[in-house]
Amino acid sequence: MSSKQQVESAAIVLDCRDHGESDLIVTFFCQNHGRLTGIAKGAKRSKKRFVNKLEIFSSLRILHTIPPNNRLAFIAEADLLDGYLALRKNIVCYTTASVIRELILLATKEVEGDEELYPLLVYAYDSLNTNHPPLQILILFLIRFYAIIGYSPQLESCLQCGQEIQTHKSYHFQTGSGGIHCSNCATKGTTPSIALSRGTLKSLAVALNQPLERLHRLQLSTASQQEALSFLHSYGRQLFQREIVSWAFLEKA
Ligand SMILES: [Zn+2]
């Protein structure tokens, strides 16, 4: 296929910035090509073609080229599929969507994706836009996101003794080793850990294994949500070796 050939993709806008007087540089994520960055020529002038479409979080149908060797794609046209207006109006939903966006940008490279990541992203933004509890959506997104990028935390059994989640009421997530210790083994170590109850671990296992369309049935208690978020945040920081900047806004929201 020629690099000039245009293809049509459903995509979520992850980033958009000015380029010169009249162009926009847009990073988007789509099913077939993963993450792509392209230039929308004249987008700041051509009100008809692009106005109010090329905004972060927006779901679009884009007509674009697939560039060779990390060069910019050319974005010819964009149609708005969903502007996610409700998501934008709620501060917690907006901040949750920002955390998801930041993590996808951290975890992916250009023209690199996974066929499971785009549907998960759309699931998360659709759910945030339709009044589902935002923190629970973030938990469901994150536990599957880490699995998709190949870094699923080890939550099925104790890292030390290998015993499966069953007997103990509480377990201890060891951020450094990416897994849990049962309460027998945890006392032997001195490294800081995050408490996770057996109930939370069981819910997370369900969240990981259910088909996306059935995830909404899962209800996590407030205590489980707090435990899960605390460990998912700490694990993400460890994985990417940096702070997840938008998470701070989540704590203030
Ligand atoms: Zn153990």
| pLDDT tens for each residue of 183-230 | 888 876 567 789 999 999 999 999 999 999 999 999 999 999 999 999
Please give the CATH topology (third level) of the domain spanning 6-83: OB fold (Dihydrolipoamide Acetyltransferase, E2P) (2.40.50)
CA of 103 to the centre of ligand 1 (A): 31
- The mean pLDDT value for 226-247 works out to 96
CB 247 within 8 Å of CB 233: yes
Q: Do domains 6-83 and 87-153+172-252 have the same CATH topology?
A: no
- What are the angstrom distances between the C-alpha of 63 and each of 68, 71, 75, 77, 253? 17, 17, 6, 5, 36
Interhelix angle 91-107/117-129, rounded to 10 degrees, is 170
CA of 165 to the centre of ligand 1 (A): 10
pTM value is: 0.94
Reduce the secondary structure of 11-23 to three states and give it as a string: EEEEEEEEECCCE
Per-residue model confidence (pLDDT) at position 112: 80
pLDDT band at 44 (very low <50, low <70, confident <90, very high): confident
CA of 211 to the centre of ligand 1 (A): 30
Rounded distance, CA 225 to CA 189, Å? Answer: 26
| pLDDT tens for each residue of 102-151 | 999 999 998 887 889 999 999 999 999 999 999 999 999 999 999 999 99
Domain parsing of the chain, residue ranges: 6-83, 87-153+172-252
Q: For the chain, first and last CA: distance in Å?
A: 47
Which letter does DSSP use for residue 90 in this model? S
We find that the CATH architecture of domain 87-153+172-252 is Up-down Bundle (1.20)
CA of 161 to the centre of ligand 1 (A): 4
CA of 155 to the centre of ligand 1 (A): 12
Rounded distance, CA 179 to CA 78, Å? Answer: 43
Q: Is residue 7 predicted with pLDDT exceeding 90?
A: yes
